[in-house]
Amino acid sequence: IIKDVKARTVLDSRGNPTVQVRVVTEGLGVGVANAPSGASTGRHEAVELRDGGRDFKGKGVSRAVENVNKLIAPALVGLSSRRQYEVDSKLIEIDGTPNKARLGGNAIVATSLAVAKAASSTMGVPFYYYLGGRAADTLPVPLLNIINGGVHAGNKLDFQEFMIVPAGFSSFHDALKAAVEVYHELKTIIKNKYGPTAVNVGDEGGYAPPLEKVRDALDLLVEAIKGAGYEPGGQIAIAIDAASSQFYREDKGAYIVEGREMTRDDMLLLYEKLVEDYPVVSIEDPLHEEDFEGFAEMRRRLGGRILIVGDDLFTTNPARLSKGIETGAGNAVLVKVNQVGTLSETIDVVKMAHENGYRAIISHRSGETEDTSIADIVVGLSTGLIKTGAPARGERTAKYNRLLEIAEELEKPRYPGFKVFPRKP
Ligand code: PGA
Ligand code: ZN
């Protein structure tokens, strides 16, 4: 039974305020969760409530904090912390808007997660076990973003994320070790080519060298994989998040890539060539956030070879994923709890994805905190795939370190490797 719900303002990895919620139960369980925050947010995401005005340059969250303390807390006290659907329905009901604009998606997501963690704490079981029980035995294949571009970095790369995917290993531990070695090899390569200032890191811990061309970034990844002694494709593959809504110009109906105007078909041809030339296993947001038809066409052309992931397209929203499934748009969904706002809706999206042959990649945001909920969620929901940045910056390593801990706790941890992709590149 929920005894106390309390929110406060804390800081995220970009130095912006965010909401932390602490839930205490009668059974002396405690759950704490922080709201993360995106930069390349999708149009259909739950709304982050910010104060405006002068404090924190308008980014204060005191209204969201107050909403938790004054509106949410009285409604939740006395409910069972184990009734997640009831708790989340209550949050949705009090909010009363389709996009969580009144209470704030940030207030709601921190509360929803804190309740679930308080329930697991009350029961005395790890959070992943609370979510998945004995079936929670699968560690995720990580997609590590080690070159940052787009709105996450100060360089001129149009695509936002260039990731390495250590799928060709038999354990999470070995996979992470290889990824870390590639990360350090990449640092040396970039330093030699572009000088010492080029190894400063972007929002997600990846390097942000002064590159302009997509292929230059991909070449660097391949060079680093080889340089670290691994086989590109066989052991370590590549994933891309184009985050293309950021360089799609609605007025022109075109994408601007490396200074050139590109149609949807130009983009599809570009992706086909990249998949030919590099060991790519996944491309996220290849087309803009309203182009279900384009995502369906891409699936027809490349769906047998790679994951085609909708992030801004689906925004972890059951209605949008359902539309995607009907139209055959993509074959995977990026899952961010704060895009939809509650844990229950997130679980629904993952279930819907799995029932319809879609993969679900549990994901951090570019603005994060030391909260490690997503590490437990990915194991608890057995999706086998996680995106949580480079193996650097505390808010990113917190998740990897939690996964290492979970891997040790599990009796027989499984690592799915290339099985979570349509095929080995
Ligand atoms: P965001 O980026 O958190 O800034 O939205 C992450 C992503 O696009 O996957
Ligand atoms: Zn994305």
**Prediction ipTM score:** 0.98
Question: How is residue 183 written in tokens?
Answer: 């990360």
CA gap 325, 422 in Å, rounded = 17
Beta partners for residue 17, in sequence order: 11
Q: What is the average per-residue pLDDT within 301-305?
A: 98
Among residues 415, 417, 420, 380, the alpha carbon closest in space to that of 139 is found at 415
d(CA 331, CA 422) in angstroms, rounded, equals: 10
Ligand nearest to C-alpha 151: 1
CA 86–ligand 2 middle distance (angstroms): 30
| pLDDT at residue 425, rounded to an integer | 95
pLDDT at 213 over 90: yes
In this predicted model, what pLDDT tens digit does every residue of 309-340 receive, in sequence order? 999 999 999 999 999 999 999 999 999 999 99
Q: Provide the whole-model pTM.
A: 0.98
Q: For residue 365, which atom of ligand 1 is closest to its CA? A: 3
Provide mean pLDDT across the span 348-363. 98
**pLDDT, position 129:** 98
Output the CA 243–ligand 1 centroid distance in Å: 8
State pLDDT tens for residues 100-157.
Answer: 999 999 999 999 999 999 999 999 999 999 999 999 999 999 999 999 999 888 889 9
At 190 the pLDDT is: 98
Q: Ligand 1 centre and the CA of 365: distance in Å?
A: 5
What are the tokens at 398?
Answer: 């917190």
CA–CA distance, 306 with 129 (Å, rounded to integer)? 30
Give the Å distance between the CA of 310 and the centre of ligand 2: 8
- Share of residues in the chain with pLDDT > 90 (%): 99
CA 258-253-160 angle, 5° bins: 40
Selected catalytic residue, list 59, 117, 336, 399: 336
66 counts as catalytic: no
Tell which one of 12, 307, 363, 365 to mutate to probe ligand 1, the residue whose CB is within 8 A of the most ligand atoms: 365
Tell whether ligand 1 has an atom less than 6 A from the beta carbon of residue 38. yes
Tell me if residue 59 is catalytic: no
> Does residue 311 have its Cβ closer than 6 Å to ligand 1?
yes
Which ligand 1 atom minimizes the distance to the CA of 203? Answer: 4
Which residues lie below 8 Å from residue 336, measured CB to CB, with a gap of 6+? 36, 38, 311, 316, 363, 364, 365
